[in-house]
Structure 1
Amino acid sequence: MHTVTLFIPALFWPHASANHDAPIVRTLRTLIGRGDAGTSRCDDEQAWMCEQFGVPRQADWPAAPITLLGTGMLPAADFWLSADPVHLQVNRDQLILLAPETLSITDAEAVALCAALNRHFATDHFIFLAPQPHRWYLKTVQPARIQTHSLSRAIGHDIDRMLPEGEDRLAWHRIFNEVQMLLHAHPVNEEREQRGALAINSLWFSGGGTLPQASTSFEAVVGSSALARGLSKLADISFTSAEQGLTAIGASNVLIELRDTEIASTRLDPAAWKAALEDLERCWFAPLAGLLKKGRIRKVVIATVADGRSYSWSVSRMNMLRWWRSAAELNVPSRAD
């Protein structure tokens, strides 16, 4: 009988400044309210995924080489960092990071900017790659001895307290500044600004490491991200696109990664986040609750990460009989430190 684990980044709206109507997700609230709750420290979504596959933290969680593998490229034994193209927006005395997805970067722009970066950093033996216009990578000869914050944690926040830390931090702060100066003066950004588009004025470095080994108790992964695809390749288990819906559930212990809410969150769009969560209610939460009540599946686990902690709710058929448990509010659970 199936155990289904749903991992949903941005299950809770992560940007406190936004006002929005609460999503109508009665089944989700019931599942959370009646489930057995658990919580533990967890840096972010990348850390959660790595931990499920037994991937240890290096200086960082090595998300960059894993996602590169998930895009179909071979990281080999090299050291890789994510070097995602972003816009830093001045807000009084802050620099707020806007996600790559908000920039509508073209293939030609990505190729031109990476070529300029490769020329500039040739003596450092840096190689910038853009297998996708909004996802770039950097290969270095020497491992970067830094700890970084993932892109998902930095989006919508002031970057001042989120710059690289560690033994090589000063060198990477210099690189960060050099990148900004190069991008600012590049014709690609001059053209973007002339047509009213946001400049690609910085890169966000994160997830550095070499390709690890992986193993997991999951027998299959259903998802959409390059990270999930890369981890499934490392663990030698099947990967199916989440677009196939419930028909993708074939194994008895399956991890389902649903990133629709995260995509809306990266765009700082609360209306889209609300719509995405309501779509998940129709396509996943309500049907799975029905299968649970009928005894067709053994257990549903809902998991997310927020504010440096992971949260999970394990729901069995017996849990669904807890009629006295009220539906949960859709907020980050309070906890005693």
Structure 2
Amino acid sequence: MTFTLVVPDLRFSRQAGFNPLTEMALPGLASLLGRADRNQLGGQSAEQWLRGHFKAESAGAAALSRLVDLPAAAAGHWLRADPVHLRADRDRALLFDAGLFDISAAEAEQLLSALNSLYAADGFEFVMATPQRWYVRLPQAPDFHTTPLSVVTGQDIHPHLPGGPTALQWHRFLNEVQMLLYGHAVNDAREQAGKPPVNSVWLWGEGPEPTGLAKPCRSVRADDAQVQGLALAAGLPFRALPPAFDASGADGELVLLDTLGRSARQGDLYAWRAELERLEAAWFQPLLAAWRAGSLPRVQMILPGDEATLAASLGPAERWKIWRRPARLEECLVMGS
């Protein structure tokens, strides 16, 4: 079996005069990538790669994460309706997801209560899974298409608003939600405390229930509810992401190591570098040692990127390819190199 490590937000686009890896020592990562057989795949997110890996391309994101978040919820047409902060920027409205700010359960409950009071008569039901993850059950199947929250974070929302035959109806719906949340006492208190208001929700994740998934691994380790849902739908065990590489049970395991995401979305280079240094010590060096010792016969690393995804494979044969030197990380991690 193969140990698969998926690491989003490690690759970056080339920018003149900018190298986030300057003066960083990452010998474990460099040795893993240097010894591996490397292939460039098409640009895709970690979510897209994982869906393809499990043969779950058509399943709805809300349907997947709801398996974990709301296993006892009534059947129906569910969407993710995650709390977000919109910030005006000239003629744009930039979106920031709840992973970039704090929201308490009490605040979330009050905001959801207001939404349910306004929309219950229309057949909508808003539900909190966690303070950062909300859902809405629709009165009928959605006749529109949406954009995943991960794609929109930090971006102008206008090119990503719902599209399709009923798009304008849902644009009006979002405007109503924003007006309701704008004047809510929770947001008044947040602004007085210097916190960003939770002034909208982002609708996304339409699609059918997952069926007929592949079993490409023995088990999954991830904190992401959608990935846990993939495991559950495939009949595979899953556990939370550990803080460091754990060799016990690692053979045949798939791990989503997504801890670079918050700093990447915030554009916080110092935090990104600090987390990458932690991953080097806690994950890459121990993984390299386990592979060299033979306790993990095969290792696959997937580094997703919008422009290109890097797949790096290490098997028993690569242990003898001692002429392969540690990789120059800028060449491996900069997309377009």
Encode CA deviations 1:145-200: one digit per residue, 9 max, x unaligned.
22222111111112221212223222221112111111111111111112221111
Alpha-carbon distance between aligned partners in 1 of 2:208 and 2:75, rounded to the nearest angstrom: 6
C-alpha change, 1:67 and 1:308, in structure 2 (3 Å) is farther
Give the unaligned 5+ runs of structure 2: none
Equivalent residue pairs, number: 331
Give 1:301's aligned residue.
300
C-alpha change, 1:143 and 1:216, in structure 2 (3 Å) is same
Deviates more, 1:61-70 or 1:132-141: 61-70
Which residue identity lines up with residue 220 of structure 1 in the other structure?
A: S
Which residue identity lines up with residue 230 of structure 2 in the other structure?
A: L
Give 1:168's aligned residue.
166
Using the TM superposition, give the Cα deviation of residue 304 of structure 1 relative to its aligned residue in structure 2, in angstroms: 2.7
Alpha-carbon distance between aligned partners in 2 of 1:111 and 1:14, rounded to the nearest angstrom: 39
Which residue identity lines up with residue 154 of structure 1 in the other structure?
A: V
Alpha-carbon distance between aligned partners in 2 of 1:44 and 1:246, rounded to the nearest angstrom: 23
Alpha-carbon distance between aligned partners in 1 of 2:173 and 2:266, rounded to the nearest angstrom: 27
Using the TM superposition, give the Cα deviation of residue 272 of structure 1 relative to its aligned residue in structure 2, in angstroms: 1.8
Using the TM superposition, give the Cα deviation of residue 67 of structure 1 relative to its aligned residue in structure 2, in angstroms: 1.3
C-alpha change, 1:223 and 1:120, in structure 2 (3 Å) is same
Contact 2:243 2:282 (8 Å CA) reproduced: no
Encode CA deviations 1:13-62: one digit per residue, 9 max, x unaligned.
579799855443222133224422334446523222222222132xxx51
C-alpha change, 1:168 and 1:257, in structure 2 (3 Å) is same
1:226 aligns with 2:222: no
Give 1:186's aligned residue.
184
Give 1:333's aligned residue.
335
Give 1:259's aligned residue.
258
Residues 25-174 of structure 1 aligned to structure 2 (within 5 Å): 25-41=26-42, 43-57=44-58, 62-71=60-69, 73-75=71-73, 77-174=75-172
Which residue identity lines up with residue 211 of structure 1 in the other structure?
A: E
C-alpha change, 1:50 and 1:96, in structure 2 (3 Å) is same
Deviates more, 1:176-185 or 1:11-20: 11-20
Alpha-carbon distance between aligned partners in 1 of 2:48 and 2:82, rounded to the nearest angstrom: 18
Which residue identity lines up with residue 69 of structure 2 in the other structure?
A: T
Contact 2:3 2:250 (8 Å CA) reproduced: no
Q: TM-score w.r.t. structure 1 length? A: 0.88
Deviates more, 1:102-111 or 1:37-46: 37-46
Alpha-carbon distance between aligned partners in 2 of 1:100 and 1:91, rounded to the nearest angstrom: 19
Alpha-carbon distance between aligned partners in 2 of 1:19 and 1:89, rounded to the nearest angstrom: 29
Q: Secondary structure at the match of 1:142?
A: coil
Contact 1:69 1:75 (8 Å CA) reproduced: no
Encode CA deviations 1:104-134: one digit per residue, 9 max, x unaligned.
1111110111111112122331111112111
Give 1:210's aligned residue.
208
Contact 1:303 1:312 (8 Å CA) reproduced: yes
Residues 14-29 of structure 1 aligned to structure 2 (within 5 Å): 20=20, 22=22, 23-29=24-30
Give 2:323's aligned residue.
323
Residues 269-280 of structure 1 aligned to structure 2 (within 5 Å): 269-280=268-279
Which residue identity lines up with residue 229 of structure 2 in the other structure?
A: G
Which residue identity lines up with residue 25 of structure 2 in the other structure?
A: I
Using the TM superposition, give the Cα deviation of residue 317 of structure 1 relative to its aligned residue in structure 2, in angstroms: 4.1
Contact 2:221 2:239 (8 Å CA) reproduced: yes
Q: TM-score w.r.t. structure 2 length? A: 0.88
Q: Secondary structure at the match of 1:28?
A: helix
Give the unaligned 5+ runs of structure 1: none
Q: Secondary structure at the match of 2:246?
A: helix
Give 2:309's aligned residue.
310
Deviates more, 1:188-197 or 1:35-44: 35-44
C-alpha change, 1:256 and 1:241, in structure 2 (3 Å) is same
Q: Secondary structure at the match of 2:113?
A: helix
C-alpha change, 1:76 and 1:270, in structure 2 (3 Å) is farther
Alpha-carbon distance between aligned partners in 2 of 1:300 and 1:285, rounded to the nearest angstrom: 11
Alpha-carbon distance between aligned partners in 2 of 1:322 and 1:79, rounded to the nearest angstrom: 55
Contact 1:41 1:308 (8 Å CA) reproduced: yes
Contact 1:156 1:268 (8 Å CA) reproduced: no
Contact 1:101 1:267 (8 Å CA) reproduced: no
Using the TM superposition, give the Cα deviation of residue 75 of structure 1 relative to its aligned residue in structure 2, in angstroms: 4.8
Identity of aligned residues (%): 33
Using the TM superposition, give the Cα deviation of residue 255 of structure 1 relative to its aligned residue in structure 2, in angstroms: 0.5
Using the TM superposition, give the Cα deviation of residue 308 of structure 1 relative to its aligned residue in structure 2, in angstroms: 5.7
Over the aligned positions, Cα root-mean-square deviation in angstroms equals 2.6
Alpha-carbon distance between aligned partners in 2 of 1:140 and 1:319, rounded to the nearest angstrom: 52
